[in-house]
Structure 1
Amino acid sequence: MMNRVVLVGRLTADPQLRYTPAGAAVATFTLAVNRSFTNQAGEREADFINVVVWKKAAENVANFLKKGSLAGVDGRLQSRSYDDQSGKKVYVTEVVAESVQFLEPKGQSDNQNTNQSNQLNDPFAGKGIEIEDDGGLPF
């Protein structure tokens, strides 16, 4: 069996860091991930994916990521349920991250709000120089 999820997107809010009674760090955040197609109005929609990360990685996420940060998540999909305060069963599906990659320098997301949609489409935009294909490649 295989259960693998790889996502790249922007945080919709600052991560929430908590500690279990045993002292294990756990951070939660929501990642906005653009869909690869547009809707009938020609707009690109996004999916909002809940992510959970544990231990040292959770502390790193809380310390270095914030709302708008571009991040890559590698993990697994998990479904669970619980009874809320009124006794109603609540179902939750989330990604449990094995690793979280910070995909831009700290503080850069502050300046990226105007280019946010372009950055999600091409995370390498504005990095380095553009190389033109002269057709001379042997493959």
Structure 2
Amino acid sequence: MTNIVLLVGNLGADPELRTTTGGTDIASFSLGTSRPKRDGEGKTFKDSQGFTVKDTEWHRVTCFNGLGKTVAQYAAKGMLVSVRGRIHNTKWTDKDGIERYGYEIIADDVQFLNRPKQAESEPQEPIDPELEMAE
């Protein structure tokens, strides 16, 4: 049996990067995926202006080591990405002694589907559209 998940969505916030005491880099981010909202008959809901109403689900994504560093460096809130990985279930006891359950996606691969942000160390010069067209 296989545990594989493939999600395509937008980052809800900039990734957070942390490093464990053992030196492992871990980047985490929230990923929003949307689908059309449907009624009991399977028809899509439309708003007052005729646009399809969407249901959004939020997924917690975790990336390790090199992938984590790359995602933290180049990904930004709102970017469209594809995530391939596995679902990881967790169980913990909260401060009130109640057992809680959750899940996260452990990413094996993250593909940027639109332009990543510039690295902070790179100069960010505006692009002259006339020069691009001349090339």
Q: TM-score, normalised by structure 2?
A: 0.73
CA offsets 1:58-86 (integer angstroms, 9 cap, x no match)? 01111101110111000001101122333
**Does residue 2 of structure 1 match 2:12?**
no
Work out whether residues 17 and 25 of structure 2, in 8 Å CA contact, stay in contact via their aligned partners in 1. yes
After TM superposition, which residue ranges in structure 1, 4 or more long, deviate above 6 angstroms?
Answer: none
CA distance in 1, matches of 2:77, 2:68: 15
Cα contact 1:39–1:45 (8 A) shared by 2: no
Partner secondary structure for residue 34 of structure 1: strand
Match of 2:109 in 1: 99
Letter in structure 2 aligned against 1:38: K
Report if the CA contact (8 A) 1:9-1:34 is conserved.
Answer: yes
User: Structure 2: where are the runs of 5+ without partners?
Assistant: 40-44, 47-52, 118-135
CA–CA separation in structure 2 for the residues paired with 1:32 and 1:94: 13
Percentage of identical aligned residues = 34
> Quick one: distance in 2 between partners of 1:38 and 1:86?
36
Distance 1:64 1:106 in 2: 5
Choose the corresponding residue for 2:87, options 74, 77, 99. Answer: 77
In the other structure, the counterpart of 2:32 is: 32
Matches within 5 A, 1:1-139: 1-35=1-35, 37-40=36-39, 41-42=45-46, 43-107=53-117
Say what the alpha-carbon RMSD is for the aligned residues.
1.6
Q: Is the 8 A contact 2:76 2:116 kept in 1?
A: no
Q: Which has the higher Rg, Structure 1 or Structure 2?
A: 2
Give the match for residue 136 of structure 1: none
Normalization by structure 1: what TM-score? 0.71
SS of the aligned residue for 2:67 comes to helix
Q: Give 1:48 deviation, angstroms.
A: 0.7
Gaps of 5+ in 1: 108-139
